[in-house]
Amino acid sequence: MVEQVFRAVPDMAAVAPATSRASGLVGPSGPRPRRTFSRRNIFIYGTLFVVAIYYLLPLYVMVVTSLKGMPEIRLGNIFSPPVEITFEPWVKAWSTACTGLNCDGLSRGFWNSVRITVPSVFLSIAIASVNGYALANWRFKGAEIFFTVLVVGAFIPYQVMLYPVVIVLREIGLYGSLWGLVLVHTIFGMPILTLLFRNYFASLPEELFKAARVDGAGFWTIYLRIMLPMSLPIFVVAVILQVTGIWNDFLFGVVYTKPDTYPMTVQLNNIVNAVQGVKEYNVNMAATLLTGLVPLVIYFVSGKLFVRGIAAGAVKG
Amino acid sequence: MTSVVVKDVSLSFGAYDVLKQLNLDVPEGEFLVLLGPSGCGKSTLLNCIAGLLDVSDGQIFIKGKNVTWEEPKDRGIGMVFQSYALYPQMTVEGNLSFGLKTAGMARDEISTRVARASEILQIEPLLKRKPAALSGGQRQRVAIGRALVRDVDVFLFDEPLSNLDAKLRSELRVEIKRLHQKLANTMIYVTHDQIEAMTLADRIAVMKGGVIQQLDAPQVIYNKPVNRFVAGFLGSPGMNFLDGEVEGGAVPAFGIAGTKIPLDRYGFDHVAAPGKAVLGIRPEHVALGDAASTMPFSAEIGVELVEPMGSDTLVWTKLGGQSFAFRVEAERHISRGDRLCIGFDPARASLFDGQSGKRI
């Protein structure tokens, strides 16, 4: 460390002009000179580059393979770009790949997933935001206990609750239906979302809430007119968390639905892990990319707001 | 007629008592300042009057009506907060009219009131702007306007000027005083700034530990503080405190380290028993030079430190071995090491019991 510092000194002296351009001052003046190709920079950017390659390579392989025909894949050059680009695997994955008896591809699973995700995201966020608001601003009797129980709920492994939930769904007649899965997702999203919203609302100035009360606004007026318009970032965070979480869910999807109502992830698994017939790598890759597309799009569209929202919630809570 | 009455109000958070059996009567049209260090319960008391906090015990009356269980909006109060608490997504006009809209008031009545309030506060050009586009002073003016449109009997201010810089603070202070003279509403004003308290108040309530220490006109509190805490809290630079002993005899005197200060001109609250005591003297009550020799008490001291403040100069020295400061005109040239003769009239001093700190 010390050695490095000493060696850096002559470098700087060589780069820094002896006198300032503007006023002829002697000695260091103005901004400190920085070298582009210092050892530090090469190390940092080199590491970043290697790590980026490491994460991007599998994606590259997937995209490339999904655009090849089976004969080309059998040659075994997984890194080489496709000689003949074909979109056949994508079409097949979407519309004709077989899972069990159904041969309408991933499209069925896609629409199932949409029908599961949209109401689950909407319901869970609507309920959790009101929960969080009530916990942060209207300290009712037992609020602390309620909150503690809710947070503890976030740490119970899902496997423990699988079977009891099957029984509950059967008893209320929702087992195997899309709405049963919507209910499960809404409930299981509650602890983390409530925590998120509570912390965000607690970080808003309390005097704002007091001022609204003096102005005569009640529970819902304050929520809808004062709190909601100030909370876009945290809602974006919640939407991203829920959409990716629910869209990527496999466990609940496979346990609580039937083949007709399987979400996309379960269908993907059934396509990729089919034991009969030839393994169509190109179709599998295309199917996987199709399934991953929705969360990816969500991230790209709202990444900036996501970061802002996470930071906003983290300041105080 | 009394406007706000606080009767035996207590408030505890768990085992911690914030307010203890507090009583307060505020006559109609009075400007009352609640003054105290942070954590003394002054803001809590204001929140209780506003109805934003439930009291643990006691009653609150506004305009003769028991409002202890009423919602804030039904109490006939308007409130101004330290952080302005403007609704960020609404325009100034939206901020002013929000409460009236919530109350379901007719449209033209709302616009009349908003127009009147913005005229009084001179914020008409700002009506279409959002709070983010306003300066601190303008924001606080809008916050006052929000209380104004409600057309209430009682205004509550919770440290409204603490977030502003010194210059704006003194400007808005004058404006608030002017507003009070114009509207003649009851105003209750919380602050920890003793200058705000002195300049604005008809009466000041000095609080400490959830208890009102002294409730009186600013001049009385300044000149005749009931205990050492009140004496030390008001005044800048602060009062000098000299530890010593009251000596009985034909002429009562206060003795410190061989020096005797005669107390025959001091207005005792009650007959003082000899014992440990603290003598308090404000720096501006000390005379210098020729004027000092005519005072009942005078002494020669050496100057240790000089603080020029522009309008006057503060000189630090030692009296009877204890730190002592006094004020002289800025024109006087005094430097470190000078020997001077100072004196004061014990009639203007305050004497406190050494144990309890109460005025003797």
Question: A229: nearest CA in chain B?
Answer: B89
* A4-8, A217-221, A231-235, B99-103: least confident range: A4-8
Distance CA B152, CA A51 (A): 65
Most A CBs within 10 A among B43, B48, B49, B52, hence the mutation to make, goes to B52
| Closest residue on chain B to A211 (Cα) | B85
Residues of B in contact with A233 (CB under 8 A): none
Average pLDDT along chain A: 85
**What DSSP line would sit under B97-135, residue for residue?**
HHHHHHTT--HHHHHHHHHHHHHHHT-GGGTTS-GGGS-
Picking from A155, A151, A312, A303, the residue whose alpha carbon sits closest to that of residue A240 is: A303
pLDDT at A18 over 60: no
Three state DSSP letters for B277-314: EEEEECHHHEEECHHHHCCCEEEEEEEEEEEECCCEEE
Contact state of A210 with B146 under an 8 Å Cβ cutoff: no
- pLDDT at site A76: 84
Tell me if A207 and B89 make a contact (CB, 8 A cut-off).
Answer: no
DSSP state of A26: B
Q: Which of residues 223-282 of A touch B (CB under 8 A)?
A: 225-226, 229-230
Tell me: pLDDT of A305 over 80.
no
Q: Residue A213's closest chain B neighbor by CA?
A: B72
Amino acid at A211: A
Establish, for the pair of chains A and B, how many residue pairs have beta carbons separated by less than 8 Å. 57
Q: Does B89 touch chain A (CB under 8 A)?
A: yes
Query: What are the percentages of helix, strand and coil residues in chain B, rounded to 5?
Result: 30, 35, 35
Whether B354 contacts B277, CB under 8 Å: yes
* Overall fold of domain A107-314: MetI-like fold (1.10.3720)
Q: Report how far residue B181's alpha carbon sits from residue B167's, in angstroms, rounded to the nearest whole number.
A: 22
Burial class (CB in 10 A: 0-12, 13-18, 19+), A202: middle
Find the range with the poorest average confidence among A23-32, B20-29, B95-104, B213-222: A23-32
Closest CA to B215 of B224, B44, B270: B224
Question: How high is the mean pLDDT of chain B?
Answer: 90
**Structure confidence at residue A227 as a pLDDT band (50, 70, 90):** very high
pLDDT exceeds cutoff 60 at A317: no
Structure tokens at A226: 């004062």
Of B71, B78, B81, the CB nearest to A210: B81
Average pLDDT for residues A93-101, to the nearest whole number? 80
Residue A3 has pLDDT above 60, yes or no: no
Top pLDDT among B73 and A312 is at: B73
Q: Do B52 and A226 touch (CB under 8 A)?
A: no
The model's confidence at residue A113, banded by pLDDT at 50, 70 and 90, is very high
Contact with chain A for residue B52, Cβ under 8 A: yes
The residue in chain A having the minimum alpha-carbon distance to the alpha carbon of residue B97 is A215
Backbone φ and ψ of A193, nearest 5°:
-70, -40
The structural domains of chain A, with segments of one domain joined by +, span 34-86, 107-314
Nearest CA in chain B to A209: B85
CA distance A210 to chain B (A): 7
Residues 6+ apart with CB under 8 A from A133: A197, A198, A201, A223, A227
For residue B329, the one-letter residue type is E
If you measure CA to CA, which chain A residue comes closest to B81? A207
Give the model confidence (pLDDT) of B75-105 as tens digits. Answer: 999 999 988 899 988 999 999 999 999 999 9
Min mean pLDDT across A270-279, B33-42, B169-178, B214-223 is at A270-279
**Which pLDDT score, from 0 to 100, does residue A8 have?**
44
Which chain A positions have a beta carbon within 8 Å of B52's beta carbon?
210, 213-214
Kindly determine whether residue B102 and residue A207, on different chains, have CB atoms separated by under 8 Å: no
Are B302 and B339 a contacting pair, CB within 8 Å?
yes
Please identify among residues 200-219 of chain A the ones whose CB lies closer than 8 Å to any CB of chain B: 205, 207-208, 210-217
- The β-bridge partners of B253 are B247, B262
In angstroms, the CA B176 to CA B196 distance is 10
Best A139, A140, A215 member to test B by mutation, with max B CBs in 10 Å, is A215
With the C-alpha atoms ordered A126, A132, A138, A143, is the resulting torsion angle positive or negative? positive
Domains by residue range for chain B, with CATH: 2-225 (3.40.50.300), 240-353 (2.40.50.140)
- Note whether A216 contacts B102, CB cutoff 8 Å: yes
pLDDT of residue A274: 78
pLDDT recorded at residue A182: 95
CA distance linking residue A120 with residue B83, whole number of Å: 38
The pLDDT value recorded for residue A21 is 59
Q: With bands split at pLDDT 50, 70 and 90, how would you rate the model's confidence at A312?
A: low
The strand order across the sheet containing B31-35 reads: B77-80, B154-158, B186-191, B31-35, B203-208, B211-216
State phi, psi for B138 to the nearest 5 degrees.
-65, -40
Top mean pLDDT of A83-97, A242-256, A273-287 is at: A242-256
Which pLDDT does position A309 carry in this prediction? 60
Residues of A in contact with B158 (CB under 8 A): 207
Give CA–CA dist B360/B352, Å, rounded: 5
Nearest CA in chain A to B78: A214
B102 shares contact with chain A (CB less than 8 Å):
yes
What is the structure's pLDDT at A307? 67
Residue A284 identity? N
Long-range contacts of A34-37 (CB under 8 A, 24+ apart): A35/A11
Per-residue pLDDT tens for B302-339? 999 999 988 899 999 998 889 999 999 888 888 898 89
Asked if pLDDT for residue B162 goes beyond 60, the answer is yes
Q: Which of A30, A4, A5, A6 is nearest to A17 (CA)?
A: A30
In the predicted model, is pLDDT for residue A5 greater than 60?
A: no
pLDDT tens-place string over residues A132-170? 999 999 888 888 898 888 888 878 888 888 999 999 999
B249-305 confidence digits (pLDDT tens)? 777 888 887 788 888 888 887 776 788 889 999 999 998 888 888 888 888 889 999
